[in-house]
Amino acid sequence: MLRTMITSTNTMSQLQQQLDTIGNNLSNSATTGYKARDVKFHELLYQQFNNDKLDRAPRQSPTGIRYGVGAVLGQAEMNWKQGTLQPTGRELDFAFSEPKQYFNILMPDEANGTKTVYTRQGAFYMSPMENGQLMLVNGEGYPVADSEGAPIVLDENASKFTISDGGNLTVSYPNGTTTQTQLAVSVLQKPQFMENLSAAYLGLPTNLDELGVTEQDILTNLQGADRAEIAMQNGTLEASNVNMSKEFTELISTQRSYQFNARAVTMADQMLGLINGIR
C-alpha cells in the first residue's frame, strides 16, 4: 500500500506542474508574441519482479511484472509555430513573419549596467529624453537596440515610421527629410538553451561553459547580407500561438488524472486502516 501511495504522490506532484504550465499558457493567450509551452510525461524507473521458479505454467504474457514508481515531466518545449498576424494600423507596431526571429531589447542589469533580452513583442513607442530627443522603447519603457547594439534615438519632430524587410526603420520628418535605422534582429539557432525571463522575454543562460555551448551556437545576430532574411511587417502585431481548445482539453485530462491518483492515495490509506484494524 505504501508503494501505491508513493507512486500516486510522485505523479500528482508532476501533474500539478503540468497544470501550472497549462494555466500559464491560458493566461498568456492574449499576450503579443507569446509562444506556448508544451510538456510531456516520461515514466520513472521500473522494478522487475520475476515469477516463482517453481511456477512452470505456460503463459502468453511476459514473465514477471514490472512495478513502476510514477511519472515525471520531461523538459518543457516551446512551440515555435508562427502566431496569427493581426493588423493594427499603428505605425510603430511591427511583427515578424518568420519564426525564431527576435527583437533585441536593452534591459537594466545590476552587474553590467544593461543586458540584451529577446522578444517577439513589436509594440513600440517614442519616449522623450531630457535633451529633447526621442528614444524608441517597448511597452515597458526598455530601449530597442539597433544593429550595433545601441539604443535608437531620433529627433523630437519625427512624424512617420515605416519598417521594411531587412529590419530597416525609415523615419520621416515634417521638412521632408528621412533617416534610416537598422533594428537589431537575432535568430535563435538553439532556442532550447534560452532562459525564460518572463512571458515576453528570453535571455541567454549565464552558465554557457557548463552547458558546453557559446553565444554564437545559440543565436545569430543578423548583420550585413544576412539581414535579407529578416521578414517584418508594419502596422501589425503577432498574436499568441496558444491553441485554446488544445489547452482546455489537456486541462480536463490532467485534472482527471490528478483525481484518479488522489483516489488511489485514499484507497491505499483505507486499506492500510483495514489491515491495522485486523491486527
List, for residues 84-111, the tens digit of each pLDDT value. Answer: 899 998 989 999 988 889 999 999 887 7
Of the candidates 149, 143, 144, 152, the residue with the CA atom closest to the CA atom of residue 179: 152
Question: Distances in Å between the alpha carbon of 153 and those of 133, 144, 179?
Answer: 7, 9, 11
Is the pLDDT at 54 greater than 60? The verdict is: yes
Q: Which three cell numbers stand for residue 125?
A: 513607442
CB contact at 8 A, 232 and 164: yes
Sign for the pseudo-dihedral over CA of 210, 215, 217, 218: positive
Residue 213 amino acid letter: V
pLDDT in tens, 159-183: 888 888 888 888 998 888 888 889 9
Secondary structure (3-state) at 24 = helix
Q: Quick check: 181 and 146 in contact, CB under 8 A?
A: yes
Report which residue type is found at 126. M
Contact 193, 211 (CB under 8 A): yes
CA 15 to chain centroid, in Å, comes to 19
